[in-house]
């Protein structure tokens, strides 16, 4: 074979192999470094009943509820090798650590090729209270529970109950995360909550979901209906809210009874001059049951 | 047997008879014995390193595989230097090229035969270590290797191919073995390592497109702890699957590119 021809064949074959390989590699490189790949919303199930973001201790916590199973995504570091009195979860910011004062055991599990640690007999309520000052109060029935933990590219930790973790992994793997819900939440607010209303029983309402955004000065509730709100309906709603019985809400009742109400297309906005400083209080205010 | 097969067998025999092979065999045997001793001695004591008296058996097993695999980031480099660096330059330096080049066989068959022979002996050396690793850890933990072992093994084979093809390419440039040895070591330990460190320092990213960083996935397949990156957050979980695929593709690109350049350089090589 002529040397020049051989040289050309070698170059052609090398280019023919390198170009598609480099193209696939570039796709993976983008996937590895893509912000979407490390976006916590990609790991929150898209059909979650509730999704909330909470700012605490310079960290942003993402809380979700999927079929009454809670999960939390946070940029906290953790030491999965526990010993008595060891710190198992610690916030990445300047917050306090979540100390465990009881014996816990850790089991490694594999869900969809993801390594998940099952930490048994953990006081999830205490961890959330200590790490993020999030008081879920009565939302968690048991004091101790088995917490399931896995990491997202070493940047975030996902911890929660078994179903929540399973669904989180599935959401990422099968690409049905809650990315679309990101538009309804304001990540800069102290607390921002999305609540799905479609599965609610009771009076036939055409509301699809509501969002609550809590700032330093006020709380804004946006209720999204499936159709445009008529002026008559708005008037009736104002009357109903004014006459409603708020006695069950205790100290909050006086504030809750005087919201500023407005409507734009299919969105009804209620502005309250209250700033619940605890996520649990917001849940209770909205009468969200688990 | 075809000419290519004859070349391959003859060069495997040549490597088998060489001092380099026995030196590498001696080194890998010593390292294997040390690692076996270390594993048996510290199998129950290592958890104390984490400040705990007990860690889950799966994590302990992954940790031991991770520590054993640390060696496999360096041994293939030395195997490639020993078997690959003098591959072409020694033919000129020892003047054997006067007899081999005029033989009625295509140069590319010579190059490929010798390349495959060098890779084969490198894999044989690594297999000795891997057998010791699997035997020891299977005995200690009463379980066969997990899927991550096979990921790590495939990445190791790709690393051997990439590293050997780079050394062959360098060897095709020089006429003296010493230059080839030094250049390969300089490229790997100065250019790749320093380049990787500077990129990490400036951009705070793990430059997996540099061969030494891509090779780190061989051990990170068990635990995502990059022993060469000061800025990454360690994790006891395996590296994400996307990183494994990306690193494998990077090693394939290094292999094809350097193999093609080396082959062209060898085709043009003249005995002066």
With respect to residue A14, please indicate whether it lies within any of the assigned structural domains. no
Same structural domain, A150 and A127: yes
With respect to residue A238, please indicate whether it lies within any of the assigned structural domains. yes
The more confidently predicted of residues A31 and B162 is: B162
With respect to residue A40, please indicate whether it lies within any of the assigned structural domains. no
- Is 50 exceeded by the pLDDT of residue B1? yes
Considering Cα of B160, then B166, then B171, then B177, what sign does the dihedral take? negative
The reply to whether A11 touches chain B by the CB within 8 Å rule is yes
With respect to residue A22, please indicate whether it lies within any of the assigned structural domains. no
Same structural domain, A201 and A165: no
Tell me what pLDDT residue A91 has.
Answer: 42
Tell me what pLDDT residue B33 has.
Answer: 96
- Total count of domains within chain A: 2
Q: Which of A114, A143, A174 is at the close of a domain? A: A174
Tell me what pLDDT residue A100 has.
Answer: 43
Whether residue B55 and residue A81 make contact (CB cut-off 8 A), yes or no, is yes
> What tens digit of pLDDT does each residue of B105-164 get?
888 888 999 999 999 999 999 999 999 999 999 999 888 888 889 999 999 999 999 999
Same structural domain, A68 and A154: yes
Which of A9, A31, A38, A154 has the most B C-beta neighbours within 10 Å, making it the best mutation to test the interface with B?
Answer: A154
Same structural domain, A150 and A239: no
Same structural domain, A142 and A195: no
Tell me what pLDDT residue A110 has.
Answer: 65
- Is 70 exceeded by the pLDDT of residue A150? yes
Instruction: Name the most confidently modeled range: B34-43, B88-97, B227-236.
Output: B34-43
Side-chain half-sphere CA neighbours of B181 within 13 A:
10
The more confidently predicted of residues A125 and B227 is: B227
The reply to whether A155 touches chain B by the CB within 8 Å rule is yes
* Beta-bridge mates of residue A51: A64, A194
Provide the CA B221 distance to its chain's centre, in angstroms: 15
Same structural domain, A72 and A190: no
In chain B, what percentage of residues exceed pLDDT 90?
48
Tell me what pLDDT residue B132 has.
Answer: 96
Give me chain B's average pLDDT, please. Answer: 87
In this complex, which of A29, A83, A151 lies closest to B51 when CB atoms are compared? A83
Which of B141, B168, B237, B248 has the most A C-beta neighbours within 10 Å, making it the best mutation to test the interface with A?
Answer: B237
In chain A, what percentage of residues exceed pLDDT 90?
6
With respect to residue A83, please indicate whether it lies within any of the assigned structural domains. yes
CB A55 within 8 A of CB A45: no
Nearest CA-CA distance, residue B20 and chain A, Å: 31
> What tens digit of pLDDT does each residue of A57-77 get?
677 889 898 888 888 888 765
- B contacts of A151 (beta carbons < 8 Å): 235, 237
Tell me what pLDDT residue B24 has.
Answer: 93
Of the ranges A100-104, A113-117, A228-232, B55-59, which one carries the lowest mean pLDDT score?
A100-104
Whether residue B55 and residue A10 make contact (CB cut-off 8 A), yes or no, is no
Q: Tell me the longest C-alpha to C-alpha distance in chain A.
A: 96
CB A108 within 8 A of CB B56: yes
Give me chain A's average pLDDT, please. Answer: 72
Please state the domain extents for chain B. Answer: 3-268
pTM for this structure? 0.68
Q: At A161, is the pLDDT very low, low, confident or very high (cuts 50, 70, 90)?
A: confident
The helix-helix angle for B147-173 and B107-141 (nearest 10°) equals 150
- CB-count exposure of residue B109 (10 Å: 0-12, 13-18, 19+): middle
Same structural domain, A250 and A227: yes
- Give me the helices (H) in B174-240, please: 177-186, 193-203, 211-215, 217-220
Nearest CA-CA distance, residue A267 and chain B, Å: 41
3-class SS of residue A223: strand
Same structural domain, A124 and A168: yes
Q: Which of A125, A148, A174 is at the close of a domain? A: A174
Exposure class string for B192-214: b at 16+ Cβ within 10 A, else e: beeebbebbeeeeebbbbbbbbb
Whether residue B233 and residue A22 make contact (CB cut-off 8 A), yes or no, is no
Instruction: Name the most confidently modeled range: A31-35, A205-209, B56-60, B69-73.
Output: B69-73
**Residue at token pair 């891997």:** B130
- B contacts of A14 (beta carbons < 8 Å): 256-257, 259-260
The reply to whether A34 touches chain B by the CB within 8 Å rule is no
Show which residues on chain B lie within 8 Å of chain A, measured between beta carbons. Answer: 47, 50-53, 55-56, 58-59, 106, 108, 205, 208-209, 224, 232-238, 240-243, 245-246, 249-250, 252-253, 256-257, 259-260, 263-264, 267-268
In the 8-state DSSP scheme, what is residue B18? S
The per-residue DSSP string of A109-144 comes to: EEETTEEEEEEEEE-HHHHHHHHH----GGGS--SS
Same structural domain, A191 and A168: no
> What tens digit of pLDDT does each residue of A4-23 get?
888 888 889 999 999 999 99
Q: At B249, is the pLDDT very low, low, confident or very high (cuts 50, 70, 90)?
A: very high
Same structural domain, A167 and A192: no
Cα A58 to Cα A94: distance, rounded to the nearest angstrom: 7
The reply to whether A233 touches chain B by the CB within 8 Å rule is no
What is this model's ipTM? 0.81
Whether residue B253 and residue A25 make contact (CB cut-off 8 A), yes or no, is yes
Same structural domain, A235 and A273: yes
- A contacts of B245 (beta carbons < 8 Å): 28
Same structural domain, A202 and A130: no
- Is 70 exceeded by the pLDDT of residue B35? yes
- In total, the C-beta contacts within 8 angstroms joining chain A to chain B are 90
Nearest CA-CA distance, residue A123 and chain B, Å: 20
Which of B3, B53, B58, B110 has the most A C-beta neighbours within 10 Å, making it the best mutation to test the interface with A?
Answer: B58
Nearest CA-CA distance, residue B265 and chain A, Å: 10
**Structural domain range at position A190:** 185-285
- Nearest-by-CA chain B residue for A17: B256
- Nearest-by-CA chain B residue for A12: B260
Provide the CA B61 distance to its chain's centre, in angstroms: 23
- B contacts of A25 (beta carbons < 8 Å): 209, 246, 249-250, 253
Whether residue B242 and residue A33 make contact (CB cut-off 8 A), yes or no, is no
- Is 60 exceeded by the pLDDT of residue B208? yes
The reply to whether A36 touches chain B by the CB within 8 Å rule is no
In this complex, which of B59, B236, B257 lies closest to A14 when CB atoms are compared? B257
CB B71 within 8 A of CB B129: yes
Cα A7 to Cα A11: distance, rounded to the nearest angstrom: 6
In this complex, which of B56, B108, B238 lies closest to A6 when CB atoms are compared? B108
């Amino acid at each position: 074979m002529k040397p020049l021809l051989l040289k050309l064949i070698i170059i052609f074959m090398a280019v023919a192999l390198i170009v598609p390989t480099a193209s696939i590699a570039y796709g993976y490189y983008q996937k590895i470094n893509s912000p979407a790949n490390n976006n916590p919303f990609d790991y929150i199930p898209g059909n979650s009943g509730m999704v909330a973001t909470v700012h605490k201790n310079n960290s942003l916590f993402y809380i979700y509820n999927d079929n009454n199973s809670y999960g939390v995504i946070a940029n906290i570091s953790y030491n999965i090798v526990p010993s008595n009195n060891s710190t198992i979860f610690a916030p990445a910011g300047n917050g306090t650590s979540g100390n465990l004062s009881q014996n816990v055991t850790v089991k490694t599990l594999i869900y969809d090729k993801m390594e998940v640690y099952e930490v048994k007999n953990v006081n999830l309520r205490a961890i959330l209270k200590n790490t993020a000052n999030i008081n879920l109060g009565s939302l968690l029935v048991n004091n101790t529970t088995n917490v399931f933990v896995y990491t997202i590219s070493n940047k975030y930790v996902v911890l929660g109950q078994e179903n929540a973790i399973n669904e989180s992994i599935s959401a990422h793997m099968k690409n049905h995360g809650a990315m679309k819900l990101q538009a309804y939440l304001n990540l800069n607010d102290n607390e921002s909550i999305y609540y799905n209303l479609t599965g609610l029983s009771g009076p036939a309402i055409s509301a699809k979901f509501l969002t609550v955004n809590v700032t330093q000065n006020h709380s804004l509730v946006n209720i999204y209906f499936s159709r445009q709100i008529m002026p008559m309906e708005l008037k009736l709603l104002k009357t109903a809210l004014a006459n409603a019985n708020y006695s069950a809400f205790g100290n909050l009742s006086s504030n809750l009874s005087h919201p500023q109400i407005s409507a734009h297309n299919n969105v009804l906005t209620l502005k309250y001059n209250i700033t619940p400083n605890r996520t649990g209080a917001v849940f209770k205010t909205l009468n969200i049951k688990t | 047997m075809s000419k290519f097969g004859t070349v391959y067998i003859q060069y495997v025999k040549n490597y088998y008879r060489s001092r380099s092979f026995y030196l590498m065999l001696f080194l890998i045997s010593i390292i294997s014995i040390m690692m076996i001793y270390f594993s048996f001695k510290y199998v129950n004591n290592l958890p104390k390193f984490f400040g705990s008296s007990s860690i889950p058996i799966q994590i302990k097993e992954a940790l031991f595989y991770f520590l054993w695999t640390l060696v496999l980031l360096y041994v293939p480099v030395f195997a490639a230097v020993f078997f690959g660096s003098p591959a072409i330059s020694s033919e000129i330096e020892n003047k054997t090229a006067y007899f081999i080049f005029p033989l009625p066989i295509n140069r590319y068959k010579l190059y490929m035969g010798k390349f495959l022979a060098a890779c084969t002996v490198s894999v044989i050396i690594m297999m000795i270590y891997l057998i010791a690793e699997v035997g020891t850890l299977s005995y200690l933990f009463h379980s066969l290797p997990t899927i991550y072992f096979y990921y790590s093994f495939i990445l190791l084979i790709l690393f051997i191919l990439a590293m050997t093809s780079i050394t062959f390419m360098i060897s095709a440039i020089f006429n003296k073995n010493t230059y080839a040895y030094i250049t390969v070591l300089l490229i790997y330990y100065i250019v790749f390592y320093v380049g990787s460190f500077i990129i990490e320092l400036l951009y705070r990213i793990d430059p997996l497109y540099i061969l030494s960083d891509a090779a780190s996935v061989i051990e990170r397949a068990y635990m995502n702890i990059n022993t060469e990156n000061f800025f990454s957050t360690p994790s006891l979980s395996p590296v994400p699957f996307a990183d494994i695929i990306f690193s494998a593709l990077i090693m394939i690109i290094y292999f094809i590119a350097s193999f093609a350049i080396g082959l062209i350089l060898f085709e043009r090589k003249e005995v002066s």
